[in-house]
């Protein structure tokens, strides 16, 4: 297949996963609208149908809560093929949605979409919603300065080693029986384990029991960890939002201030032992024991740190394809198990945005080449083994098709 054939296939995947104004990540495994998947889908659509790209973001933000939170899943239509569905979350939201958020990449990608396609009016309509969402992150997810997550699913990097410590403290004794659906769609050895799922569900049950009251969740919730990835994404997203505000002639210095405050709080995530920014448990102060791709997203935020760069260079050089989601030197590294080792094209694309901004042309080219090679060899899969390139997880994946069109090709 030539690259132009792959372009055609990628566009066909986006069209096939389109459910009318929103896309699903892939049929079967993920039958609803996911937050950061949709932002990537919008970026992909913008390369051949800009109006449809903006529609994707509009549908996502139409599900924004009055608090400003943009949920991580929007259950537009019922589908028994995924667990936990709307009935388990029981948030009472319209449209039905989950009760947590996901990485705030929308402003970063909306800015790029606008630069490529114009359409200032579509961006203008989105701006107050982006601002409200970023304010929500500031008010409800930065209890000690950096961005924290209240559930591993909120991080978008579900079972990465960052969360092991916090997850170990989650009590699962009252979870009860439930039936997973994910392992009916893809190889169970590539998915999070049973113990992980019990804990995921226990955290959801806590949120549901307190009516998704954020004060209670932050104060008494079973899981709260500082996330280097979301902190870095939010730094970049706030600076991009400030740039959007300038284009629109809006006068609000809040996003720049929020970005500076996040950057000033970064030392809290610095592990002397690992010489990297890693996740940290708010309750105990303990650091995660491995360097994940969350650290590499420092490049997206433009954070400079020589010691960290040396670690990242070693990690990248120890695999053949892309930035791995976990350090191959760590005991927890598993090259095909979801966020415990595989490389994810979308994360590579975010890192590349940072490399581009910093004028690091050679590294950006290398990351693009390695990611493109994975897709050329394996197709539009969810993620890949960084050692031998084996394609893993779901096929015909929206965000892999999107980043092929918008960046990797």
- Closer Cβ to ligand 9WN, 41 or 405, answer by number: 41
Report the Cα 183 to chain-centroid distance in Å. 21
Catalytic residue status for 362? no
Cα torsion through 110, 134, 397, 195, rounded to 10: 170
Query: Which residue in 45, 137, 153, 232 binds ligand 9WN (CB under 6 A)?
Result: 153
Cα torsion through 123, 398, 348, 56, rounded to 10: 10
- 36 binds ligand 9WN per the rule CB under 6 A: yes
For residue 4, the minimal CB distance to ligand 9WN (Å) is 27
Query: Which residue in 44, 68, 156, 228 binds ligand 9WN (CB under 6 A)?
Result: 156
By CB under 6 A, the residues from 71 to 100 that bind ligand 9WN are 72
- 56 binds ligand 9WN per the rule CB under 6 A: no
Is the torsion defined by CA of 380, 187, 189, 155 positive or negative? positive
- The torsion angles phi and psi of 324, rounded to 5 degrees, stand at -75, 155
Please check whether residue 340 is in contact with residue 162, taking contact to mean a CB–CB distance below 8 angstroms. Answer: no
- Closer Cβ to ligand 9WN, 41 or 299, answer by number: 41
- 158 binds ligand 9WN per the rule CB under 6 A: yes
Site stretch for ligand 9WN (CB under 6 A), options 29-37, 63-71, 223-231, 298-306: 29-37
How far is Cα 107 from Cα 243, in angstroms, rounded to an integer?
Answer: 10
Catalytic residue status for 382? yes
Instruction: Fill in the DSSP letter of residue 367.
Output: H
Q: Is residue 93 classed exposed, middle or buried when 0-12, 13-18 and 19+ CB atoms within 10 A define those classes?
A: buried
- Closer Cβ to ligand 9WN, 182 or 227, answer by number: 182
Query: Which residue in 6, 23, 30, 170 binds ligand 9WN (CB under 6 A)?
Result: 30
Query: Which residue in 25, 294, 298, 386 binds ligand 9WN (CB under 6 A)?
Result: 25
Site stretch for ligand 9WN (CB under 6 A), options 32-40, 221-229, 255-263, 272-280: 32-40
Site stretch for ligand 9WN (CB under 6 A), options 14-22, 28-36, 283-291, 314-322: 28-36
Instruction: Fill in the DSSP letter of residue 325.
Output: S
> Which of the following is catalytic: 281, 370, 382, 395?
382
For residue 135, the minimal CB distance to ligand 9WN (Å) is 23
- The torsion angles phi and psi of 22, rounded to 5 degrees, stand at -145, 155
- 341 binds ligand 9WN per the rule CB under 6 A: no
Retrieve residue 183's tokens: 């392992």
Retrieve residue 397's tokens: 């994946």
For residue 182, the minimal CB distance to ligand 9WN (Å) is 6
How far is Cα 289 from Cα 271, in angstroms, rounded to an integer?
Answer: 9
How far is Cα 345 from Cα 98, in angstroms, rounded to an integer?
Answer: 25
Query: Which residue in 34, 40, 127, 407 binds ligand 9WN (CB under 6 A)?
Result: 34
Cβ-based neighbour number of residue 19 at 10 Å: 15
Query: Which residue in 37, 227, 240, 281 binds ligand 9WN (CB under 6 A)?
Result: 37
Retrieve residue 331's tokens: 């005991």
How far is Cα 55 from Cα 49, in angstroms, rounded to an integer?
Answer: 10
- Closer Cβ to ligand 9WN, 112 or 180, answer by number: 180
Which residues contact ligand 9WN (rule: CB under 6 A)?
Answer: 25, 30, 34, 36-37, 72, 153, 156, 158, 182
């Amino acid at each position: 297949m030539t690259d132009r054939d792959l372009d055609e296939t990628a566009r066909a995947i986006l069209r096939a996963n389109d459910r009318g104004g929103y896309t699903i990540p892939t049929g079967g495994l993920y039958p609803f609208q996911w937050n950061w998947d949709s932002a990537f889908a919008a970026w992909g659509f913008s390369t051949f149908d800009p109006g449809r790209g903006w529609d994707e973001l509009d549908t996502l933000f139409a599900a924004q809560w009055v608090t400003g939170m943009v949920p991580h899943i929007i259950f537009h239509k019922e589908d028994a093929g995924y667990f936990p569905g709307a009935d388990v979350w029981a948030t009472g939201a319209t449209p039905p949605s989950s009760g947590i958020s996901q990485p705030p990449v929308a402003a970063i990608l909306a800015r790029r979409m606008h630069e490529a396609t114009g359409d200032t009016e579509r961006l203008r309509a989105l701006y107050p919603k982006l601002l409200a969402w970023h304010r929500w992150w500031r008010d409800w997810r930065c209890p000690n300065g950096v961005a924290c997550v209240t559930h591993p699913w909120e991080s978008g990097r579900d079972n990465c080693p960052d969360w092991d410590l916090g997850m170990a403290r989650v009590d699962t004794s009252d979870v009860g029986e439930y039936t997973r659906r994910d392992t009916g769609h893809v190889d169970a050895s590539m998915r999070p384990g049973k113990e992980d799922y019990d804990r995921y569900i226990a955290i959801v049950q806590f949120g549901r029991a307190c009516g998704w009251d954020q004060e209670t969740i932050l104060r008494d919730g079973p899981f709260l960890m500082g996330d280097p990835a979301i902190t870095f994404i939010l730094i970049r997203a706030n600076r991009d939002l400030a740039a959007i505000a300038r284009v629109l002639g809006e006068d609000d210095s809040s996003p720049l201030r929020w970005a500076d405050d996040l950057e000033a709080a970064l030392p809290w995530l610095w592990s002397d032992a690992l010489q990297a920014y890693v996740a940290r448990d708010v309750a105990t102060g303990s650091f995660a024991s491995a360097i994940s791709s969350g650290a590499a997203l420092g490049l997206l935020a433009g954070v400079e740190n020589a010691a960290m760069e040396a670690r990242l260079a070693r990690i990248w050089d120890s695999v053949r394809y892309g930035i791995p989601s976990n350090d191959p030197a760590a005991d927890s590294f598993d090259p095909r198990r979801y966020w415990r080792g595989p490389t994810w094209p979308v994360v590579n694309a975010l890192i590349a945005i940072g490399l581009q901004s910093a004028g690091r042309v050679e590294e950006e080219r290398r990351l693009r080449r390695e990611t493109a090679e994975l897709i050329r060899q394996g197709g539009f899969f969810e993620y890949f083994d960084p050692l031998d390139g084996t394609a893993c997880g779901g096929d015909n994946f929206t965000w892999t098709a999107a980043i092929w069109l918008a960046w990797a090709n």
